[in-house]
Amino acid sequence: MKNLNVLVTGADGFIGSHLVEMLASKYSNIKALTQYNSFGSWGWLDDVNCKDRIEILAGDVRDPHFCNEIVKDIDIIFHLAALIAIPYSYSAPSSYVETNINGTLNICQAAKENGNIRVIHTSTSEVYGTAQYVPIDEHHPLQPQSPYSASKIAADAMAMSFYNAFNLPVTIARPFNTYGPRQSARAVIPTIITQIANGISEIKLGDLSPTRDFNYVEDTCRGFIAIAENDRTIGETINIGSNSEISIKDTLDLINELMGSDVNFIQDIQRIRPENSEVFRLWCDNSKIEKLTGFKPQINLQKGLQKTIDWITQPNNLKNYKAEIYNV
């Protein structure tokens, strides 16, 4: 297994950069795809300690010819490249079609044309929408409550169609709400931590009533790898989560406690989703991944939040966050 050739798309992002680090400790041949830009930035890969052990590429999954070139001689593709911000999807839905749906098509087509390469396609718990029952298993109905979730539902379907039509060895990995170091300020946990760390006494948030199944990023990455290393997962959609839920309000209270803070909460109207677009409840049934791979999450919420707080509050990290504005 160590000599397999691995490609990670979206490697410059939050989860992708952590996955690259974890893979670099297991595999010797890793290509990490970053979004091409004129600044020469590799995103979060600029900060990893394994750059001398990986090959970093810059490009764009929206280009089918580029995708066909980068997958040559690859054995496993972890496809994480995507637009993920829900608020921005309200403003620019076509961008989500181009990157999330067409990008997935390009990766799967390239994998098919280059020897039926193993593909781990990244989904999201947002495709389930507000839970109709809990915990949410992989048979739960899909509900497109935002252009983002609609694009991921379509991308998942596109990936699975390549398994059904062409026997491409695809697995859809569906992580619930991942958090941890390097997560952008558009997400609720970094939003809370950065505002407290910057001495803001009144925290601006949206609706505090929704519940989420939060998963520390290292556990999410371990789930990805467990799925990739087990052939029983081929052709399957598999949740990655903790089998628990907590409200945003209780998450705020826990962060307050861990940071020794006592901030007040202000509801910021621009942070509230349209009524029919808000996902009010997410709680993962993770029995399938445990049954197929033996995977279990290792880091509980309190420990994961403390690790996240410790990282974000380091001055060199905190300065990269714009706590005073709403990051979409």
Q: What is the DSSP string of 159-190?
A: HHHHHHHH---EEEEEE-EEE-TT--TTSHHH
- How does residue 271 score in pLDDT terms, banded at 50, 70 and 90? confident
Map residue 243 onto helix, strand or coil: coil
Confidence of residue 326 (pLDDT cuts 50, 70, 90): low
H or E segment and range at residue 193:
helix 188-197
pLDDT of residue 328: 57
Amino acid at 251: T
pLDDT average, residue stretch 189-199: 93
Tell me the pLDDT tens digit for each residue of 26-54: 998 999 999 999 999 999 999 999 999 99
Higher-confidence residue: 82 or 270?
A: 82
Which residue ranges form the domains of the chain, and what is each CATH number? Answer: 5-178+216-240 (3.40.50.720)
Strand order, beta sheet including 5-9: 55-59, 29-35, 5-9, 76-79, 118-122, 170-175, 237-240
Q: What is the mean pLDDT of residues 82-92?
A: 95
Inter-axis angle of helices 248-258 and 301-312, nearest 10: 60
Q: What is the mean pLDDT of residues 142-158?
A: 98
pLDDT value, residue 203: 84
| Single pTM value for the model | 0.96
Q: Give phi and psi for 202, each to the nearest 5.
A: -125, 110
Determine what percent of the chain is predicted with pLDDT higher than 70: 99
Q: Which pLDDT does position 94 carry in this prediction?
A: 98
Q: Count of residues for the chain?
A: 328
Instruction: Give residue 327's pLDDT.
Output: 61
Mean pLDDT, residues 204-213 taken together: 91
Does the pLDDT at position 55 exceed 90? yes
- What is the C-alpha to C-alpha distance for residues 7 and 10, in angstroms, rounded to an integer? 10
Mean pLDDT (the chain, rounded): 95
Please determine, for residue 304, whether its predicted confidence score (pLDDT) is greater than 70. yes
